[in-house]
């Protein structure tokens, strides 16, 4: 690996963030566009690809799903649904240590999410909100040659705690045509019985519109590549989604006494995800900034995915010296990081200061990587500044709160004149008429 982390000033970084987060029309790079050349006239736009796939799935159902899976994944899948026996065998074949880790992580995650369960009616007897679980949810799990059992846990468990009756998992098929064994094993452990070997935009289309073999869902959750992200954005409104995920982000506020090697390792842990990932350290200590920068070069050079890390670091990595820790907190709030790590002697004192991070990790014993797997709160987090208005995926994401109105005679008599005045003020005389009929002929 050559180079290291850029060293912009706070204002230079602020300007970079503003520019980078003005999202242009998504374009495919050469590696992604190449395989699509025989199906589309180049240059290929990612949103055009996604729109075409979604329209095909809405029109042709399973046939379109199989067609695009064959074209894009190079896999012929006759029946997308994975048999229950294959899921059970995948669990039995999983190495015991991994099985035990899945069991332990699932238990911890479920305990934390159980605290989010909310069955209380909000309001009065005559006018209130009543929580109900969604009927059917679709959980997208990235896959193919890689495996993300942690994503299965983080998406399925809150849906189960919420009481969702039907949960369908979709995940890209590997070369053999089936879903990765670890995804199947994890689904089996959680008791999920519906897993489909389909990925990409065609999976999102199947979940959103329904096909002959995949019933439509009420909400789609889970991360994915560019095609999945654009497809989720395109079907929003047809179904609910958990959000539009961007590249992963980590921002560290480091105060005196922080371990530069741990900080560097934390930055590397997120940069290895994606060449577009963000990894930034803010500190009020110039010597600590120098130490973090030096440690990063050492950690990144020894990392397995050093090429991806170097690319991401050059684009979205930084060590920034601020005039104070308070200024670092202001900068952090402006960025609204997916993961915010507080390290050093001031970590505890700063834990209540940030307001916009998706998840906050306090101190040396709470690295972001623990949150990815087993700390308990959900690792599906807002990116791209969305932490300003939402938090992690939670049980609440799998509930809806319909309102119930059942007014007593006394309440109607008191409120009807008020409603009539407001209806007349808006020129909606039909609204007033519907109320006055009841005022003129009250029920016994």
C-alpha separations of 226 from 198, 321, 386 in Å = 16, 33, 18
* Contact yes or no for 250/368 (Cβ under 8 A): yes
Dist CA 177 CA 79 (whole Å): 10
DSSP string computed for 243-254: ----S-EEEEEE
Q: Maximum CA pair distance of the chain?
A: 84
Dist CA 89 CA 439 (whole Å): 67
Q: How far is CA 240 from the centre of its chain?
A: 13
* Contact yes or no for 335/355 (Cβ under 8 A): no
DSSP 166: E
DSSP 167: E
DSSP string computed for 331-368: HHHHHT-SEEEEESTTHHHHTTS--S-SEEEESTT--H
R_g of the chain, CA atoms, integer Å: 25
Q: Give the strand pairing for 132-133 and 127-129.
A: unpaired
Length reported for the chain: 444
Catalytic residues: 338-339
Compute the Cα dihedral for 195, 106, 147, 90 and give only its sign.
Answer: negative
* Contact yes or no for 156/128 (Cβ under 8 A): no
Classify 195 as helix, strand or coil. strand
**What are the E-state strand segments in 216-335?**
219-221, 240-241, 249-254, 278-283, 317-321
């Amino acid at each position: 690996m050559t180079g290291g982390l850029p060293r912009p000033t706070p204002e230079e970084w602020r300007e970079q963030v503003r520019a980078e987060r003005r999202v242009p029309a998504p374009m495919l790079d050469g590696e992604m566009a190449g395989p699509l050349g025989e199906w589309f006239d180049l240059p290929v736009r990612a949103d055009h690809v996604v729109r075409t796939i979604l329209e095909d799935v809405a029109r042709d159902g399973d046939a379109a799903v199989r067609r695009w899976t064959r074209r894009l994944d190079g896999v012929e899948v006759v029946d997308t649904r994975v048999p229950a026996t294959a899921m059970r065998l995948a669990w039995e074949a999983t190495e015991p240590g991994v099985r035990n880790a899945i069991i332990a992580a699932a238990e911890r995650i479920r305990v934390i999410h159980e605290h989010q369960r909310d069955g209380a009616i909000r309001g009065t007897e005559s006018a209130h909100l009543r929580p109900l679980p969604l009927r059917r949810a679709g959980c997208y799990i990235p896959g193919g040659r890689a495996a993300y059992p942690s994503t299965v846990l983080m998406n399925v468990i809150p849906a189960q705690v919420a009481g969702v009756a039907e949960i369908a998992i979709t995940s890209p098929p590997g070369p053999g045509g089936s879903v990765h064994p670890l995804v199947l094993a994890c689904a089996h452990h959680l008791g999920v019985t519906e897993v489909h070997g389909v990925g990409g935009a065609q999976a999102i289309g199947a979940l959103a519109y329904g096909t002959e073999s995949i019933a439509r869902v009420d909400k789609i959750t889970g991360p994915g590549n560019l095609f999945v992200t654009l497809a989720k954005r395109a079907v929003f409104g047809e179904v609910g989604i958990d959000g539009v995920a961007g590249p992963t982000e980590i921002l560290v506020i480091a105060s005196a006494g922080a371990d530069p090697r741990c900080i560097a390792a934390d930055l590397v842990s997120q940069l290895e995800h994606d060449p577009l990932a963000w990894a930034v350290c803010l500190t009020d200590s110039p010597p600590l900034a120098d130490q973090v920068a030096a440690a990063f070069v050492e950690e990144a050079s020894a990392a397995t995915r050093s090429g991806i890390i170097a690319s991401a670091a050059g684009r979205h990595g930084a060590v920034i010296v601020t005039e104070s820790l308070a200024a670092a907190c202001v900068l952090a709030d402006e960025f609204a990081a997916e993961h915010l790590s507080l390290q050093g002697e001031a970590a505890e004192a700063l834990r209540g200061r940030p307001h916009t991070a998706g998840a906050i990790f306090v101190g040396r014993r709470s690295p972001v990587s623990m949150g990815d797997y087993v700390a308990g709160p959900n690792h599906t987090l807002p990116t791209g500044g969305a932490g300003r208005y939402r938090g992690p995926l939670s049980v609440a994401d799998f509930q809806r709160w319909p309102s119930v109105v059942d007014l007593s005679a006394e309440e109607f008599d008191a409120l009807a004149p008020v409603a009539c005045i407001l209806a007349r003020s808006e020129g909606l005389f039909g609204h007033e008429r519907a109320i006055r009929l009841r005022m003129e002929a009250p029920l016994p």
